[in-house]
């Protein structure tokens, strides 16, 4: 599994850095 890099797969399935499916309201945006 190390050769496939499981970490990269997780980012593609669920990018925690930038959730496009559920964009959280940034503080200051005033939505």
Q: What is the pTM of this model?
A: 0.13
- pLDDT interval class at 5 (50, 70, 90): low
Domain ranges of the chain: 1-31
Average pLDDT over the chain, rounded to an integer? 64
- Model confidence at 17, pLDDT cuts 50, 70, 90, reads low
Give dist(CA 8, CA 17) in Å, integer.
13
Query: How far is it, in rounded angstroms, from Cα 9 to Cα 23?
Result: 20
Arithmetic mean of pLDDT, 1-16? 61
How far apart CA 24 and CA 19 sit, in angstroms, is 8
Cα 16 to Cα 18: distance, rounded to the nearest angstrom: 6
């Amino acid at each position: 599994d190390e050769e496939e890099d499981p970490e990269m797969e997780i980012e593609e399935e669920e990018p925690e850095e930038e959730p496009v499916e559920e964009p959280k309201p940034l503080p200051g945006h005033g939505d």
